[in-house]
Amino acid sequence: MAEGKRVVVTGLGLICGLGNDVDSCWNAAVNGVTGIDTVRSVDTERCYAHKGAEVKLTNEELADENCDRSSLLCIRAAGEAIADAGLDLGSEDCSRIGVILGSCVGGASSIDKYYTDELKGSGSDPADIYKMPAAAIANNVARHFMLNGETANIVNACAAGTMSIAYACDLIRSGKADVFVAGGTDSFSSLAFSGFHALHALDADSCSPFNRSTGITLGEGSGVLIVESYEHAQRRGARIYCDVLGSGVSSDAHHITAPRPDGLGQMSAIRRAVENSGLSFDDIDYINAHGTGTAKNDEAEFLSLHTLFDGNDHLSVSSTKSMTGHCLGAAGSIEAVLSVKSICENAVPPTIGYSDGEIAKLSEKAGGLDFVPNKKREKEVSRVMSNSFAFGGNNASIIFSQTPSELPEKPEKQPVYLTGVGKVLSETAEEPDSGKRAAVGSAEFKAHGIKMAFFRKLDRFSQLQLLSGVKALENAGVTVTDDNAGDIGIIIGTADGPIKEIADFQINAIKNGTEKGSAFAFPNTVYNAAGGYLSIFSNIRGYNATIANSIQAGLQSVCYAMEVIRNGEASVMLAAGTDENTDIESTLYRRLGVTGDGENGIELGEGSVTLVLETAESAKARGAKPMAEIAGCATAHSAVETDRIDGSQDALKKAILDACSDAGVTPDMIGAAVGFADGNPVVDKLERETYAELFGAELPVFDAKKQYGEARAATAALQAAYAAELLSERDDLEYVLAASFGLGGSYSAVILKKA
């Protein structure tokens, strides 16, 4: 195998209900000791369920940082992983060490605190607003350890931790970094407890996966892996735990909360992971299953595993959620750490909670598969698969191995074209200081074949995304069929996600009690619901990810989509930026003093812009007319405070220069730029000075935000669409730059070329 493809695990960090470090968690798990107990942090008095797996440390004991609990848990786990890997950050090039983290609920504890203070009239703290978005987590970890490599927050609910590790490995293989701090984190929250309680998805007792299957038990924690290129690990003499071989990501296109009963989406992700690892199904020794404990999830997973692995007579399967609880966005990364330990210790942790009679029933259902009830299985473990399946129909699978494998060759690099755009953008200000809002009504949805029964399920964030996604497919002339559905994917970037749904749900729980959550509203509080609805409506069943990384996430989605295409995981990708502007957003931004007539002076907007990217081969086969070529792209980061960008100018320069290098051009070949200035003097000055330094004062810079306001990720994606339009309209332009900024010091740059 070409050494450049090898990615290895060199450090582990873990905190959850089982313990505060890797060793204590592993020893508890392998010996069948549960971390599930009576919930302490959420009022469950009038609920039917009272169990949870909480970390016993306070925020102050976790880390000396003023962050949300999700960030604090992750800082703790990351610190252990970095120390375990022997990474000397003082001597490393920290611009080559990035942070990719997954989360489901983001800053839920800070949302709870802010609105509790508001409703009690005790004086809410505006500083809590910056702690709310999931977008803050990777930046907080990067700043704590002063890491300046690429950052991203993957927010695909319960698949987020697994997807983050997979994406980090893909970026290392493509040469974008040497090392990543990768994993996931989520804190115990009244929002999640109230939501799953409303769905009646909680077990009144401790969860019992693959057994009683009467519900989940929530947990909290963080799992972090240090993944790095084999060459980098060798150079520094690092101890190597194992290789990360391959991964697979797919979408069910079925239901926003329930898995496909036929398991097709799960099996697609598993197949991709096995194929990308250069293995066969018989090579897997142990599967750390998703195993949530709900009937529908367990039944679908049973079917998937039997369909693919029957005949593998040495395969063991277990669900460690029976001890850790379901830690949501952290689940996959916690299970990844336990999977690596299984390889190191040649032992399989059990699924606990079986009576003797239940074990007999299990053996009938399990057939030839060993589901390891109650007691660990000591055996040789060389290759482990870890599976995660999530709300929105998102599926992810990843494989760890004691030894390297001959990985399949990537497809030859070919041009990637922008072949369609769908726009839904803010136009008018409805009220003073409210910012601009989009005109989105039922008539427009009907015009695009979206029935009202489907429309009524959607929150505003999902409405914006669905409409722009459908428009983009129509504009590109892409027809989704059963034959090509798995070869088309979706990446959505957002700054704030469905914050109105999240805030409204939280306010209801505070006012009326944890037990009064809305089963209708809860599914729309997860960031990836919009991508789930788009996949369900369009029948897109390929790679599906949502990335939250402040304003520039709309352009980072293009960079991510390019990575998926170049890896051969899709021929067509929808890359989008979406953010809403409701009464919640306008109030929060006004409270921060960044909108209106103050010194910062930005005008808030909203919208969704979706770009259709596809390979030259795909475009040619369809007879599509390209708008532009995506010639190069890059992201960069500078570790600054989560609410600032000043001091991060070098990261913007790096993103632009790396994008130029990726495109095979020099800065003097760039004929124009579509800018990100939004009225904030710090932002405007940084853009102006950086472009003057790199391109000279003569470079034309076009304004993408003046008409639509600061629609955050939507206007970041719009910059790329605007650049493509300039190239098609102007004969004097060959290359146009689109670059955008994110609070906390993240930047993305995309170079578009005349098609």
Q: Which residues are catalytic?
A: 158, 290, 326
Residue 200 Rama label (left phi>0; alpha psi -120 to 50; beta): left
Using H for helix, E for strand and C for coil, what is the string for 434-489? CCEECCCCHHHHHHCCCCHHHHCCCCHHHHHHHHHHHHHHHHHCCCCCCCCHHHEE
User: Could you tell me the CA-to-CA distances from 441 to 438, 450, 460, 464, 537 in Å, in that order?
Assistant: 9, 11, 11, 10, 18
Residue the block writes with tokens 């850790």 = 324
Cα dist from 477 to 45, 464, 623, 727, whole Å: 54, 20, 9, 20
DSSP 271: H
Environment class of residue 481 by beta-carbon count within 10 Å: exposed (0-12), middle (13-18) or buried (19+)?
A: exposed
Of 84, 387, 94, which Cα lies nearest the Cα of 224? 84
C-alpha separations of 83 from 87, 94, 145 in Å: 6, 15, 12
How far is 300 from 702, CA to CA, in rounded Å? 51
DSSP 409: P
d(CA 586, CA 434): 5
What CA–CA distance (Å, rounded) separates 74 from 327? 13
Helix (H), strand (E), coil (C) string for 715-738: HHHHHHHHHHHHHHHCCCCCEEEE
Q: Centre a 10 Å sphere on the Cβ of residue 83 and count the other Cβ atoms it contains.
A: 12
